[in-house]
Structure 1
Amino acid sequence: MSGKIIGEKECTRRAEQQFMARGNSPRGSNSMQNVSQGTMKPNRVWITALTVGVIALALFLVGISKPSSTFYDEFQYVSSARAFLAGASNPNPEAPPLGKLLIAVGIKALGDNPWGWRIAGSVCGALTLVAIFLWTHLLLHDYVLALTACTLTLFNNFLFVMSRVAMMDVFLVMFIMWGLVAFTAVLEWKGLSAMTRRFILGFAGTMFGLACACKWNGIDTLGIVLATSVILLLVAKRSGDNRIVRYRTHLSQVGILPLIVALLVVPVAAYSLSYWPLCRSLHRPFTWSELLSMNLYIWRFHLATPGNKAIASPWYTWLFATNPQRGLSYLVGNVVVMWGGLLALAFCARSFWKSFPEALVLVLYAGNLLQWGFTPCKSTFYYYYYPAAMFLGVAIPLALRQLPERVLGIRPAFILVVAAAVIFVVCYPRMAHLDAPWDCAFGCWS
C-alpha cells in the first residue's frame, strides 16, 4: 500500500513539472521568480518588457528634432552639457550634475543638435516605462494588470512630453523606478541567497543615489523605501498577512547592517561619485570639501531664487489642472489617467492597512506630491508633478482588482485604456510640435 501511495505522489509531481514546463502557470503566479531559481528563461514578461521599451522609444523619437532650437529649460541644461564636453566652467551649478552628463553623452554620440540634446531623455523615458511594467508585475503578479499600468502610463502625456525635452526630470524618474523594481524584487523573489538579495538591494540604493544626482527630489522616494524597510522589520512580525511575513523574512535575510549600507551608504556614495566627472572636467579636486561647497551652493541658490512667477503654480492646483503648458509642449495630464488615478487612490486608501501594494503606491504618490508643500523653494511649476503622476497609472490597476474582471463582457481595463488612448491622440499634434495644419488637426488650443 505504501509503495502505491509513493508511486501516486511521484506521478503527481511529474505531472506538475510537465504542466509548469509548458508555461501554464496559474493566474497570480510570478513568472519573474524564474530569476530566483536560476532558470531565467525568456517568457512573455521579459519579452513584453523588451517590446514595451522598443515601442516607447520609437514613439518618443519620431519628430524629436522639433523644435529645432532649445526651448523651456533646455537651454541651461544643454549649455551645461556643452561646457562639460569643452572643459569650460559650469553655467548651471545650481543643479546636481548627472542629468547634464547624460545629455552630454547624447551630444557626444549624435552631435550638438536636437537629436543629441534629447536622445538620452528618450532612452530614459523608454526605460521608465519598462520599469513601470516590471514593478507592477512584481507587486500584483498579474500580467494583464501590469500591461494595463504600462499602457496607461504611456498615455498619461507626462511621460511623452518629458521624454522629448532635455530636462532633468526624466532621468530622476527613471532611476527612481528602477530602484523600486530592485527593492520590490528583494521583497518578492523567493529562493535567493542572502548575498544575492544584498546585491540587488545595493543596486536599488545605487539607483536612488543616482536619482538624487539628477534632482534632489529623489530623496523622498529613498526615504519612503527606507521607512518601509524599517516598518517591515519591526512591525511585520506581528502581522497575520503571509505576504508581509515573507517580506520581513527576506529583509531579515539581508541583515540590518547590509540594509543600512545599501539604503544609506550606497546612495551617498553613488551621489558623490556623480561629481567626479564634473570635477575632472573643471580641473577641481574631487574632495569632500569640494562636494560640500558645490552642494551648499545648490541649497542656497534655491532658497534665494524667486523663479519665474509668471508660469509658476502651487502644487495643490496640479491635481485637476486642465490648462496646457504652452511653453512646454502643451503639457497637460491625460484626464483619464490623472483623474481616474485619483479615484483609484481613494480605493487604495480603503485597503491601506490590508494590502501592501495599495499602501506603497499611495505613500509614493503622496510623498512625491506633498514634498512640494515643505520644500523651501520660491516657485513650483506644473511639470514638477511628473514623478507623482507616474504612480497614478499603477494605482488604477490596483483599484481594478476590486472590481469584477468583466462588466457586460468587457474588461474595465480595456475601456480605460481606449479612453486614455483617445485623449492622447487628441493631444498628440500639439505635444509633438507638428507643423500646420496638422498641429490643429483636433482643434487649436488656447
Structure 2
Amino acid sequence: MTMAMRRLLAPFSRPAPALFALLAIAQAIFSWRLTTPHTLVFDEVHYVPAARMLLALSGPVNIEHPLLGKTLIAAGMLVFGDNPLGWRALSTLAGTAIVGGVFAIVWLMTRRTRAAAVAGLLTIVNFVVLVQARIAMLDGFMAAFVVLAVAAMAWAMRGDAGQSRWRWTLGAVLLGLAVGTKWAAVPYLGYAAIGFVLLKRGDPSRWPGLRWWSAWGLLGLAASLAYAATFAPAFFYASEPMTLARLIPFQLDMYARQTQILPPHAYQSAWWSWPVIGRPIWYFYEVADGAQRGVFLLGNPAVMWGGLVAVAACALGWLRTREVRLGVAAALWIGGFAIWAIIPKSLGFYYYYFLPAIWLSVALAVAIDRWRGWLRDWDEVYLVAAISLFVYFYPILTAGALGGPRAFLRWAWFVDWR
C-alpha cells in the first residue's frame, strides 16, 4: 500500500470512527446543492402532490403504493416547507442510512473495518445511491429500510437469547416498514425466513434462543403490525377515510393498480438489461435555474460491471469452500435481482435495480477482502477508478450547470444512454 493511501485510510482503522466519517461524507455529498433544480424532477410529479394531500389529510391519492414513503416526504415538507429542500431532505437521510447499513452488514460478515469501509465508500460512489438520495421518490426509503433490516438480522446472530430476539424483531419491523413504502420489498420477507433456516442449520449457535418457528412467528407478526401501522394517516382523511373493514380490500385495489397493463414508455427496459446498464434514465434534462442541467440515473460502471465479477467470484468461491460470507454476498444480489424476472409488472425501469445495485458493494467488499493477497495493490487501483468515475459523472448526477443542450453527449457513452 502506498504511503498516500495509508494516510487516506488512517481514519478508517477502527469501526466507529470509520462509520461516522463515512456517514458525514455521505450526508455532505448527498445534501450539496440539494435544492437544484427548483422544480419537480421525474416521479416527484407524483409523490410530492401525494405528500401534499397527506399533509392536508384530504383523501386517498396515488393509491398504487403504500403510504409510508409519501408520509416521509410530507414530514420533510412539514419541517422545511413545501419547497425543494422539504421535498428531498429526508431522502438524503435515507441515502446516508443505506451507507451505514452496508458498512454494518460487511463488518458483521468479515469483522474487518477495512472491508466495511470499502463497502461504504463504494456505496457512496455508486451513482444510483447518490441520485436516489437527492430526489423525492419512494425507492430510497424502501432501500434504506431493507438494508437496515438485513443489518439488524445479521446483528441478531450474535449476543444472548434476549438480544437475538429483539434484534431479529427490529429487523422484522424494518422489513414491514419497507413493504409499507413499496411492495418491491415483499420478497425480502421470504428471503429472511429462508436465510434463517439455512444459516441456523449450518451453525445452530446463530440466533441463540430462536427456533425456526419462533423466528418466523416474530417475522410475520412484527412485519405485519409495522406494515398496518403505516396506513394510520388514512384513517383521518377528510374524504373516504380508511376503516379496519376496508384495510384488506384496499390491498386488493393496490394490487390491481400495481399489475395493470401500462402503455409503452420511452425509458422502459427489460430486467435482464439492468446489470449491464442497458437503459439508464434521464430524470431531468432542461434549462433550469439559469443553466442547462441534467440528472442522469445510471450506475457507476466500475461498481456495476466490477460488481458482477465480484458476485461470480463469491458464488464460485462458496461452491468450492462453503464460506458463509461468500455465499451470503452472492445470494443478496442474486435474490434481489432474479425476483424481477417473475414480479408481475407490465413495464420495467432501470431504477427497479436500485437494491441489487446496492448489494454489489457488499459483494465487491467481501471479494476484495477474501482475495486481497492475490489482488496485491490492484484493489486500491480499482477504488481510485471508481472514485474517479464518480467525480467525472458528478455534474450530470446532481443537476450541475452544463455547457449547452448537447452537453449530455460527453457522458452518454452508448446510444441507449441518450
TM range (shorter): 0.7 to 0.9
> Which of 226, 232, 249 matches 1:276?
232
1:156 has 2:126 as partner: yes
Distance 1:81 1:277 in 2: 11
Q: Is the 8 A contact 2:60 2:237 kept in 1?
A: no
Q: Give me the whole-angstrom Cα distance separating, in 1, the residues matched to 2:87 and 2:263.
A: 24
CA distance in 2, matches of 1:231, 1:251: 12
Aligned match for 1:304, one of 260, 264, 285: 260
Aligned residue number for residue 21 of structure 1: none
Q: Which residue of 2 aligns with 1:195?
A: 162
The answer (yes or no) to whether the contact 1:71–1:327 under 8 Å persists in 2 is: yes
Larger radius of gyration: 1
Matched, 1:435 2:405: no
Q: CA RMSD in A?
A: 2.1
Measured after TM superposition, the shift of residue 286 of structure 1 is 5.4
The 2-side partners of 1:346 and 1:382 are apart by 22
Compared CA separation, residues 285 and 73, structure 1 to 2 (3 A) = closer
Structure-to-structure mapping, 1:56-67, within 5 angstroms: 56-67=26-37
Q: Is the 8 A contact 2:36 2:399 kept in 1?
A: yes
Q: Which residue of 2 aligns with 1:339?
A: 305
2:220 aligned with 1:250: no
Provide the rounded CA distance (Å) in 2 between the counterparts of 1:137 and 1:428.
Answer: 28
Q: Distance in 1 between matches of 2:130 and 2:124?
A: 7
Q: C-alpha separation between the residues in 2 aligned to 1:343 and 1:422?
A: 20
Q: Which runs of 4+ in 1 moved over 6 A?
A: none
**Where does residue 174 of structure 1 map in the other structure?**
144
The worse-fitting range, judged by mean Cα deviation, of 319-328 and 369-378 is 319-328
What amino acid is the match of 1:222? L
Verify: 1:376 aligned to 2:344, yes or no. yes
Q: Structure 2 unaligned segments of length 5 or more: list them.
A: 1-12, 285-294, 413-417
TM-score by length of 2: 0.88
Which structure shows the bigger proportion of residues in strand conformation? 2
Looking at structure 1, the residues matched to 53 and 242 of structure 2 have their Cα atoms a distance apart, in angstroms, of: 18
Match of 1:415 among 351, 372, 381: 381
Identity of aligned residues (%): 27
Q: Does the 8 Å contact 1:405/1:412 carry over to 2?
A: no
Deviation digits for residues 369-416 of structure 1 (CA, Å, limit 9, x no counterpart):
111111111101011001111011111122223434375xx6332111
CA contact (8 A) 1:406 1:412 kept: no
User: Is contact 2:103–2:117 with CA below 8 Å preserved after alignment?
Assistant: yes
Alignment of 1:380-399 (within 5 A): 380-399=348-367
Moved more, 73-82 or 318-327: 318-327
Instruction: For 2:235 and 2:379, locate their aligned partners in 1 and report how far apart those are by CA, in whole Å.
Output: 49
Residue equivalent to 2:10: none
1:326 match: secondary structure: strand
SS at structure 1 position matched to 2:297: coil
Amino acid at match of 1:251: W
Shift of residue 275 of structure 1? 0.4
Q: CA deviation at 1:177?
A: 0.8
Aligned length: 388
Distance in 1, matches of 2:248 and 2:410, equals 51
Cα distance between partner residues in 2 of 1:321 and 1:51: 30
Is the 1:131–1:177 contact (alpha carbons within 8 Å) kept by the matching residues of 2? yes
CA distance in 2, matches of 1:264, 1:285: 26
TM-score, normalised relative to structure 1: 0.82
SS at 2:61 equivalent: coil
